[in-house]
């Protein structure tokens, strides 16, 4: 089976690939971009992007839409994480969090897949805390300021395998791997 991940983000592809590597599938980055609607839930964004990609490719597709939800900011940047990362950036988030004691935050992923004749939407989540300064050079996005529960290092201070032990994306893709095994005997 050939399965396309629809994303412009190479890091996402590398993280997901490690989770799916035991399955007998050819996991590729799609030759088309991710079509992103503006919506207030990750599930809606992921599902509409998957549908759009499937209509073009007519092959099995999977989309991951993710975001960082900060408790003290009432869930901001959430579904706007991509835009906020490109505009305010990490420094902007740290500024908003200056002198804020409650540092709790969660990363969430909604994964939508169309694997004919079936489709599915799954979720993954990891909670932790926002640091007061960026730490580490690995990963992408908000990785340098997020420490998952049970760790002292940020995601940016970890290898892909270490991040995959905890991450929202890895959790969603492990559920997806199980779903593929159960439904397609891979």
Asked if 141 interacts with ligand ITT (CB under 6 A), we say yes
Asked if 85 interacts with ligand ITT (CB under 6 A), we say yes
- Distance (Å) of CA 83 to CA 76, 79, 106, 126, 138: 11, 9, 18, 21, 21
- Distance (Å) of CA 183 to CA 20, 23, 130, 153, 174: 15, 13, 38, 37, 14
Catalytic, 65? Answer: yes
Asked if 171 interacts with ligand ITT (CB under 6 A), we say no
Asked if 129 interacts with ligand ITT (CB under 6 A), we say no
Asked if 62 interacts with ligand ITT (CB under 6 A), we say no
Asked if 154 interacts with ligand ITT (CB under 6 A), we say no
Choose which of 27, 69, 142, 166 interacts with ligand ITT (CB under 6 A): 142
Residues 172 and 186: their CA atoms lie apart, in Å, by: 18
Residues 8-47 that bind ligand ITT (CB under 6 A): 8-9, 12, 34
**CB 183, CB 175: distance < 8 Å:** no
**Catalytic one of 65, 102, 143, 161:** 65
**CB 40, CB 64: distance < 8 Å:** no
What is the total count of residues that contact ligand ITT (CB under 6 A)?
A: 22
Backbone angles phi, psi at 171, to 5 degrees: -65, -45
Catalytic residues: 65
Chain residues that interact with ligand ITT, rule: CB under 6 A:
7-9, 12, 34, 64-68, 81-82, 85, 107, 139-143, 155, 167, 169
């Amino acid at each position: 089976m050939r399965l396309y991940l629809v994303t412009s983000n190479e890091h996402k592809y590398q993280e997901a690939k490690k989770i799916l590597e035991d399955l007998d599938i050819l996991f590729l980055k799609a030759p088309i971009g991710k079509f992103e609607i503006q919506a207030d839930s990750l599930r809606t964004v992921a599902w509409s992007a998957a549908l759009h990609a499937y209509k073009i490719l007519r092959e099995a597709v999977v989309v991951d839409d993710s975001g960082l939800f900060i408790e003290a900011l009432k869930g901001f940047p959430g579904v706007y994480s991509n835009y906020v990362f490109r505009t305010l950036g990490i420094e902007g988030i740290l500024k908003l969090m200056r002198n804020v004691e409650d540092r709790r935050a969660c990363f969430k992923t909604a994964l939508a897949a169309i694997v004919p004749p079936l489709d599915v939407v799954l979720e993954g989540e990891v909670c932790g805390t926002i640091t007061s300064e960026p730490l580490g050079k690995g990963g992408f996005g908000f990785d340098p300021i997020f420490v998952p529960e049970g760790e002292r290092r940020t995601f940016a201070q970890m290898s892909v395998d270490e991040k995959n032990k905890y991450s929202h994306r890895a959790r969603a893709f492990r559920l997806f791997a199980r779903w593929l095994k159960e439904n397609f005997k891979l």
